[in-house]
Chain A
Amino acid sequence: MAVTLLLISLLAFLAFQIIPGDPTTKLLGSDYTPERAEALRHEMGLDRNVLVRYWDWLTGFVTGDMGESYSYGMSVRQVMEGKGAVTAALSLMAWLLVIAISIPLGITLSRYQGGRLDRVFVAMNQVFMAIPPFFLGILFTYIFGLVLKLFMPGGFVGPDESFGGFLGYLVFPALAIAIPKAAMVTKLLRSSILGQMGQDYVRTAYSRGNSRWNVLKKHVLRNALLPVVTFVAMTLADIVAGSIVVEQVFVLPGLGRLLLASIGNRDYPVVQCIVVIIAFVVVFMNYLADVVTQTIDPRIRLD
């Protein structure tokens, strides 16, 4: 995993070195003269070897010094202050919602397999899986924000001001991200449980006089949850990516909005930093998913 992380940071660094154009041109603007540009390049260390700069950047990154932003006139660290918390809280809330919605729903649907409830929900599931989170966000803004006035579209309260208000403003964005994912997990869990129900060990458990709930709890779920746990763990990466888009819908001041603004401003130190941070989170989550899978099922070996 460490090698992957190092490789990703190197690629991210190199990617932003090959961009055509010199950042000094934009920074100096109308004050541009070749001499000043040269002086600035020296000051910014752009005249040194790429690998030397990568090493400097990496050691800086690890110690929390992430360089200077081109467009905000302060350090990348200051620009990112508080933004990571918003994205992290949003992603985490969405992820917990996925679990809270899909696990009970999946179990209930498998219980009433083939019944009216099951058929209605399975059809609805298909539709929910097809809704892009940002469109769900727009619908929520309209229904809950503009019509029912449950929240102020575009409003936001920082966690320092009022933690409850902060979480309140994240509920609908988190739901917008969570619902399509929850639909996928519900479907996976339902079919996973149904796949186990026909097995011999289930019949044995029943024949020993277990109630349906006991069979489910003690025998079936342990097996049926395996693929679901892996999927749910991997979803977190998708959710972080989804929050980039959904932050834009709800005008939340998180990393996603900063990333897009910085792409527009060509503020590459900020873009680079955010990309590497998100990449690290993704790699780490995927690694965690592997570890969790292996822990609950020792038959699976990590290579």
Chain B
Amino acid sequence: MRIRHNKNFTAGAVIAAFMLIVILVGMVWTPYDPNAMNGKAKMLSPCLAHPLGTDNFGRDILSRVVEGAGATALIAAATVAIGLAAGLIIGGVTGYYGGWLDEVIMRLNDAVTAFPSILLALVLIALFGGGKYKIIIALGVLFIPSFARIVRAEVARQKSLDYVASARLMGAGDMRILFLHILPNIVPVLLPSVAIGFNNAVLAEASMSYLGVGVKPPDASLGRMLNEAQGYLMSAPWYAISAGAAIILLVLGFGLLSEGLGGDGHAS
């Protein structure tokens, strides 16, 4: 695997690892119960007992940000998993076999990828309603075309290489060639896209939840926290800043990782 910009990769790995550790720790332990209200400690500014302060209900913001980051990361990971799995199958088959089905699916892909995913996600939410699982499915489906396109291009390139011909001579079937021989070879090309896909999912989920059409209470998410925090900007600016900083760290970490792995690191 070629690691082009080592500095990017290192910085990205450090930030992403930091966020992952925080999230993993947060799944078993947070300083306070994220939902425990405390009438005596409302709107505290950052202090020793509450490093990021407390919100309007006296809930510890650090605990809430950690929980929200975990929820957002899980949603993003699930979204990427759906898009990647379906993209691998669709892109793999169309790239390997070609033909009219390939043409039709790629035209469809072009049409879908030309659109800002947030607009399409809003349409899906308008049709089927919001909530955590619907967001995952809506975004996951919208991510299929971009993965399918990358997989298709790579598979189409690899299938004419010598090692595929050798495998075929040895009597390997199409599916075996596709998933056991070609797939491992396209992983290096796929990895940066996975990192960018994760970022796009984080941003899309945060935007939707901020708009109030994504994750619904009592489920946590960084976008929903920002929505709440905006009402208390004057009295508790650290609330919004903490939630926003968590999003930035996640996106920055994975964006740098993607560039380090040879992607262009653009979220779009």
Contact = CB atoms under 8 A, between A and B. Distances in A.
A269 to B, nearest CB: 12
Q: Report the interface size class on chain A.
A: 35 or more
Contacts, number: 112
B255 A129 contact: yes
Q: B233, B241, B252: which has the most chain A beta carbons within 10 Å? A: B233
B111 interface: yes
Contacts of A141: 230, 233
A214 B267 CA distance: 34
A139 B230 contact: no
Contacts of B126: 263, 268, 271
Contacts of A242: 116, 118
A221 to B, nearest CB: 21
B43 interface: no
Interface of A: 4, 7-8, 12, 15-16, 18-19, 126-127, 129-132, 134-135, 138-139, 141-142, 146, 184, 188, 235, 237-238, 240-242, 244-245, 248-249, 259-260, 263-264, 268, 271, 275, 278-279, 282-283, 286
B267 A4 contact: no
B160 to A, nearest CB: 23
Interface residues of B, number: 38
B256 to A, nearest CB: 6
A138 B240 contact: yes
- Nearest 3 pairs between A and B by C-beta? A241-B116, A130-B252, A130-B251
* Main secondary structure on B side of the interface with A: helix
B268 A238 contact: yes
A4 B114 CA distance: 11
Given A132-B203, A139-B244, A263 B125 contact: yes
Contact of A129 (B234, B247, B267): B267
Nearest to B125: A263
